[in-house]
Amino acid sequence: MIYALENVECLWPKLDRAYQFDDTTKRSEACEISHPKASYEINIILNEEQAKDLAAKMRSEFTAKRQDNWADWDVKSLSDVFEKDETGHYRAKIHKKAYNDPTSKPKQYMLDGSPAAADFQLTSGSKIHIQFLIKPWQYAKKVGVGLRPTVIMVVELAERTSAGGGNPFAHKAVGGNPFGLSDQATPSAPPPTSDIDDEIPF
């Protein structure tokens, strides 16, 4: 399933080239796409309505693609799917392995629709439109639902800083349909309620 969001804030993008997490340095390091751990990654901030819609689509896609020998995707709340901060916002990790495939790199575009330079480095805190694949998986008797980035468009490029400050979840994101694809799911926000919690509306 293809899913898209508009005007979301991104965090810690690693899209200019492949990266791998180095267990020795405890940080992500640039690497060749042939590295077995090479991947592309970006995090996005979601408000509660967006998180509920995305989690429900992830559950629906898992149910549709689940095979007979798969275990159940055992999640009971939004906090089991996304990291939640004290302001009630959620952070979704969107990650894709390179698999030594030069076409695996997500496409990036500038606001005028032109392709970003091959070495373009998106900055943390930027506003983007993003399209990604919701992909259920099963491996070694474990199951999950991955979010794999495919297309990013830069809406507002944040200034690069040497160190982050303040709460990175401070801004609310706005859902939408930036790509006009017939097979994507576009989030819709339910009316606000006073007793809303983080239960997934499956």
* Domain ranges, ordered by start, for the chain: 2-159
CATH architecture of residue range(s) 2-159: Beta Barrel (2.40)
The shares of helix, strand and coil residues in the chain, as percent rounded to the nearest 5, are 10, 40, 50
Checking if the pLDDT of 170 tops 90, the result is: no
Checking if the pLDDT of 177 tops 70, the result is: no
Q: What is the pLDDT of residue 174?
A: 43
Using pLDDT thresholds of 50, 70 and 90, give the confidence band for residue 39. Answer: very high
Checking if the pLDDT of 54 tops 50, the result is: yes
Contact 178, 131 (CB under 8 A): yes
Q: What is the pLDDT of residue 87?
A: 87
Q: What is the pLDDT of residue 167?
A: 47
Checking if the pLDDT of 100 tops 70, the result is: yes
| pLDDT, average across residues 13-40 | 95
| pLDDT, average across residues 84-102 | 95
Checking if the pLDDT of 190 tops 70, the result is: no
Least confident of 34-38, 55-59, 180-184, 190-194: 190-194
Q: pTM of the prediction?
A: 0.79
Distance between CA 81 and CA 58 in Å, rounded?
10
Checking if the pLDDT of 160 tops 90, the result is: no
Q: What is the pLDDT of residue 165?
A: 42
| pLDDT, average across residues 48-62 | 97
Distance between CA 198 and CA 79 in Å, rounded?
7
Calculate the average pLDDT of the chain.
Answer: 85
Q: How far apart are the first and last CA of the chain?
A: 17
Contact 129, 6 (CB under 8 A): yes
Checking if the pLDDT of 155 tops 70, the result is: yes
The CA R_g of the chain, rounded to the nearest whole Å, is: 17
| pLDDT, average across residues 4-22 | 96
